[in-house]
Amino acid sequence: MNIAIVGCGFVFDIYMRTFKAHPELAIVGVFDLKSDRMDRVCAYYGLERYASLDALLNDGRVDIVVNLTNIGAHFDVSRKALMAGKHVYSEKPVTRNLQETQELFAIAAINGVRMYGAPCNIYSDSVRTLFKAVGDGAIGKPLLVYAELDDNPIHLMEFEKVRSPTGAPWPLEEEILEGCTFEHVGYHLVWICGLLGPAIAVTAYSNELIETKAAGVPGRSGTPDYSVACLTFANGTSARITCSVVAPRDHRMRVIGTDGEVSTDSYRQYRSPVHLERYSKGSLSARKLQVLRNSRSLGRLFGIGGRRMRLVRNWKSNAVEKDQSVRSSLRTRVKEWVRRKEVYAQDKFVGIAEMAREIRAGGPQYLSPDFIAHLNELTLLIQGAGPEGLATRPTTTFAPLGPLPGTQDYGTGYLERLHPTLLERIASR
């Protein structure tokens, strides 16, 4: 399937990191308002450029327009592409207000095309493994999700020096002005709502705590650098999501049920190890001892934190398993290896791959328009909650998504092998 990309900035290079893993997708051309950015990515990746957005939209070869422009341009670019009869995959948030998002889905329906939105980390092996543990009943009835999204104190990170492989600066000012909740909370909402269904109530708080986030960037931006939201779901479960660029990096995801919990270290690492703990009186009592709480390896002997699960695979797991960089010098390969193993291993193209697969099959849209609009509304509510707080009911909802497509499951035999450890049994007495 042929795609064309609008917006050749910082995130363009993150997408391109795994492009080689998707040979069924061909990039027929790119467009950016900045000519130099087009030149750089075309020379680096061997791509064609368009003279204008209209030229791109008039190209009959283009099936999907991938919108990687700045948030303020999302609506306009997506609307034009949908009206030109192209399917659209947009970076998040789809737009800055719910009416515009709903308008895009309406235009898509009228034109017989599809509109999809990032993020796509719901398709990661780690999320699939969390879903499997819950679906198999390994933690009993799910009750509660805790999700952290702290991304380091922004004022200490010198983000102004960060460049992508083709030299795009990390858009520091834009990130500060839009705020970390707008930019990031979708990564947790996508898997939490995918797992628990639609939220029926939101209690949220957001605030701006850091006065000067970077040299040369205006002081207070008026957007939050910290937010916390408690969501109540239609099925009676609850979630608490924290988002900041104030606290040190912490991306943990935990699903807590009546009989145990399943957790992983980061949404950004698509094959991040997943641990399953079946609570026992021993493992819960052992937590009272600070030596066991503070030493991970000692704690594990008493069952704290549980066992590592075999990761579920998907049809695109290979994208983050090996070097997919387009230009692979030895230096690049070493850097990519470290990045995949230790920093993050994400495949931003997998959302487009899933979209193309659904278009080819002609089946329903798994991440449905209602689902994407719901995520958009929750993002806007949490961001806008303010220091006085907000308690409200979202106006949008969606039908449950059902099992994730592309999952390569390995059955439930692992449940029978989940015996408590010897020390856990002793501590239970």
Ligand X SMILES: NC(=O)c1ccc[n+]([C@@H]2O[C@H](COP(=O)([O-])OP(=O)(O)OC[C@H]3O[C@@H](n4cnc5c(N)ncnc54)[C@H](O)[C@@H]3O)[C@@H](O)[C@H]2O)c1
Which spans of this chain sit near ligand X (rule: CB under 6 A)?
6-12, 14, 31-34, 37, 53, 68-71, 73, 77, 91, 168, 170-171, 174, 183
- DSSP per-residue codes, 226-237: EEEEEEEETTS-
Q: How far apart are CA 426 and CA 429, in angstroms?
A: 6
Residue 166: CB minimum distance to ligand X, A: 11
Residue 170: CB minimum distance to ligand X, A: 6
Q: Which is nearer to ligand X, 172 or 311 (CB)?
A: 172
Q: Which is nearer to ligand X, 136 or 173 (CB)?
A: 173
Which residue in 379, 381, 372 sits closest to 102, CA to CA?
372
Q: Which is nearer to ligand X, 181 or 280 (CB)?
A: 181
Residue 37: CB minimum distance to ligand X, A: 5
Residue 76: CB minimum distance to ligand X, A: 6
Q: How far apart are CA 180 and CA 241, in angstroms?
A: 13
Residue 381: CB minimum distance to ligand X, A: 18
Residue 315: CB minimum distance to ligand X, A: 23
361 phi and psi, to 5 degrees? -75, -20
Which residue in 167, 165, 163, 183 sits closest to 175, CA to CA?
183
Please identify which residue in the block is written with the tokens 């009869």. 85
Q: 172 and 159 in contact (C-beta within 8 Å)?
A: yes
Q: Which is nearer to ligand X, 278 or 348 (CB)?
A: 348
Residue 15: CB minimum distance to ligand X, A: 9
Ranges of beta strands (E only) in 226-296 are 226-233, 238-244, 253-257, 260-264, 274-278
Residue type, 63: D
Q: Which two tokens stand for residue 74?
A: 């999302």
Q: How far apart are CA 159 and CA 181, in angstroms?
A: 18
Exposure on the CB side of residue 220, measured as CA atoms within 13 A: 4
Q: Which is nearer to ligand X, 49 or 357 (CB)?
A: 49
Q: Which is nearer to ligand X, 174 or 250 (CB)?
A: 174
Q: Which is nearer to ligand X, 52 or 295 (CB)?
A: 52
Q: Output the residue with the shortest Cβ distance to ligand X.
A: 9
